[in-house]
């Protein structure tokens, strides 16, 4: 699988091996998690087209431990604590500014152990002006620290990665 190194790094930092995982924003991360980290993955997206493309790619790679579902990450239908870990890989910048707080709180609500949010830093942001809005990492860290002050921050090449533990998790 091409371009999997960044995603593997995010999954390593998130300590996802052998976990149930919610992947917000379907794509390659779900396949890396299932294949290389032995995760049972639910991969969600609001786009039927993105889900169809990801399903085809998973079939092509013969990866079976992924369930693809159409969901709005700002209003998830899952019960509290449904997944060990919730991961968002470069999806937050696709969310309108006024819904980003809901996105974070929903991810935290359905996670049992931790949430991992990774997004492009300024140097790595791939979109043209106005198409999407880069994540304000000061705001993100403040929101995550309100949930758990022990939120960890990492920067790796073109992305920033935040890990927010849930309750007494380590």
Structure confidence at residue 131 (pLDDT): 82
Contact 73/91 with Cβ under 8 angstroms? yes
Other Cβ atoms within 10 Å of 170 Cβ, number: 7
CATH number of the domain that 29 lies in?
Answer: 3.40.50.150
Q: How many structural domains comprise the chain? A: 1
The pTM score is 0.94
Q: Give a yes or no: residue 122 inside a domain.
A: yes
Domain of 9?
Answer: 5-165
If we measure between CA atoms, which residue out of 85, 93, 78, 113 comes closest to residue 22? Answer: 85
86 membership: H or E segment, kind and range: strand 83-89
Please give the Cα distance from 117 to 24 (Å, whole number): 9
For 118-140, the pLDDT digits (tens) are 999 988 899 877 789 999 999 99
């Amino acid at each position: 699988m091409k371009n999997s190194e960044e995603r593997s790094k995010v999954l390593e930092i998130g300590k996802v091996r052998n976990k149930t995982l919610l992947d917000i924003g379907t794509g390659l991360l779900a396949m890396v998690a299932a294949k290389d980290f032995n995760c049972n993955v639910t991969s969600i997206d609001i786009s039927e087209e993105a889900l169809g493309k990801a399903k085809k790619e998973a079939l092509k790679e013969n990866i079976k431990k992924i369930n693809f579902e159409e969901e709005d990450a700002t209003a998830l239908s899952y019960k509290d604590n449904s997944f060990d870990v919730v991961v968002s890989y470069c999806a937050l910048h696709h969310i309108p500014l006024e819904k980003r707080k809901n996105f974070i709180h929903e991810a935290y609500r359905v996670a049992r152990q931790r949430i991992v949010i990774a997004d492009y830093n300024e140097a790595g942001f791939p979109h043209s002006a106005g198409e999407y809005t880069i994540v304000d990492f000061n705001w993100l860290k403040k929101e995550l620290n309100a949930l758990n002050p022990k939120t960890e921050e990492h920067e790796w090449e073109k992305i920033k990665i935040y890990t927010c533990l849930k309750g007494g998790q380590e």
